[in-house]
Amino acid sequence: MHGKKILITGKNGMLGSSLISNLKYNNIVGIDSTIDLTNNQQVCKKIKEVKPDIIIHTAAYTDVESCETNQDKSYLVNTLMTQNLVNYCINQDILFVYISSTGIYGRSKDDRYNEFDEVNPTTVHHKSKFEGEKIVRNHLNKYLILRTGWLYGGDKNHRKNFVYKRYLEAIQNGTLYSDNTQIGNPTYISDFVEQIEVLIENQQFGIFNCVNSASNISRYDYVKKIIEFFDIDCEVKVAPQGMFKRIAPVSHNESAYNYKLELLNLNIMKKWEVSLKIYINLLKKGLE
């Protein structure tokens, strides 16, 4: 199995770079945005050259706020770029892994979503990601659609590393404000990478939630834990209403649980505090 060749899109992204460093496969090719995946010819040329057994498609337009005011770019990158890759995989023996988001469930309930819940995305970003999912489902048999959320981990200096950013803010400011109205699952990329391997090794196909386990955890709870684990003298306060005004109407509930992984006895994602502690201890060692 480890002889398989893997193509990873978004190789410099937070997840793509972690997959390249941590997947236990020897034959991995990563591609970045110098190859424009919205261009069908470039896509075909590259895949033909690499001849992958598996494509893990992490590349996406991920700035939820900016997607809201750039609808065309959002559908071009998140939906049509996915279509280009999928077109190539039709009738080919390639496993296509599409990284999606628990944000696509929208706001139909207050509790954690499972894979059988209705999907009703509320933002342009999540709508365009869901359209990407539909293309994968409608055209391919060998696919995994993995819905994750609130990712952290990997390189501490990555622009999207939420945990390290809060550390820097805390040592500079002494007080942090955080939103206690939005809930989700802080998810450690290293756990996610391992879970992807487990799914591939067990020859699973279909849609799976892949998050660290968390119940009713707000951004405020998350930031408080980050500061506690770093052991920094910093007060975390609940942000007053309106402090973090967003353009995108993101659901108050992005939380999920790995119902299908649980049923299949394949869930290896840890409790969110356990993984957060592991990652922060690693960061602390690097800071010593």
Ligand X SMILES: NC(=O)c1ccc[n+]([C@@H]2O[C@H](COP(=O)([O-])OP(=O)(O)OC[C@H]3O[C@@H](n4cnc5c(N)ncnc54)[C@H](OP(=O)(O)O)[C@@H]3O)[C@@H](O)[C@H]2O)c1
Residues that bind ligand X (CB under 6 A): 9-10, 12-16, 32-33, 36-38, 58-62, 77, 81, 99, 101, 129, 148-151, 160
Q: How far apart are CA 226 and CA 217, in angstroms?
A: 13
Helix axes 272-287, 189-201, angle to 10 degrees: 120
Cβ nearer to ligand X, comparing 9 with 267: 9
- Per DSSP, 264 falls in state T
Shorter beta-carbon distance to ligand X: residue 36 or 49: 36
CB of 288 to ligand X, least distance (A): 27
Q: Are 239 and 179 in contact (CB under 8 A)?
A: yes
Nearest residue to the partner ligand X, using Cβ: 13
Nearer Cβ to ligand X (139/160) = 160
CB of residue 100 vs ligand X: minimum separation in angstroms?
6
For residue 234, the number of C-alpha atoms closer than 13 Å in the C-beta half-sphere is 24
CB of 235 to ligand X, least distance (A): 26
Q: To the nearest whole angstrom, how small is the minimum distance from the Cβ of residue 168 to ligand X? A: 18
Closer CB to ligand X, residue 1 or residue 247? Answer: 247
Query: What is the closest distance, in whole angstroms, from the C-beta atom of residue 236 to ligand X in the complex?
Result: 20
CB-nearer residue toward ligand X: 32 or 68: 32
Cβ 204 to ligand X shortest distance, Å = 19
Q: Is 72 exposed, middle or buried (0-12, 13-18, 19+ CB in 10 A)?
A: exposed
DSSP state of 105: G
Nearest alpha carbon to residue 281 among 240, 209, 217, 228: 228
The structure tokens listed for 179 are 């939103």
- The minimum distance between CB 25 and ligand X, in angstroms, equals 18
Q: How many other C-beta atoms lie within 10 A of the C-beta of residue 192?
A: 23
Using the minimum distance from each CB to ligand X, give the nearer residue, 12 or 40: 12
Residue 27 CB-density burial (10 A; 0-12 exposed, 13-18 middle, 19+ buried):
middle
- Other CB atoms within a 10 A radius of the CB of residue 34 amount to 6
d(C-alpha 273, C-alpha 257), whole Å: 15
**d(Cα 262, Cα 258) in Å, to the nearest integer?**
6
Q: Which is nearer to ligand X, 61 or 164 (CB)?
A: 61
Reading the block at residue 78, the tokens are 């998140």
Question: Can you say whether the dihedral through the CA atoms of 95, 101, 107, 109 is positive or negative?
Answer: positive
Nearer to ligand X, 14 or 280 (CB): 14
In whole angstroms, how close is the CB of 231 to ligand X at the nearest point?
A: 25
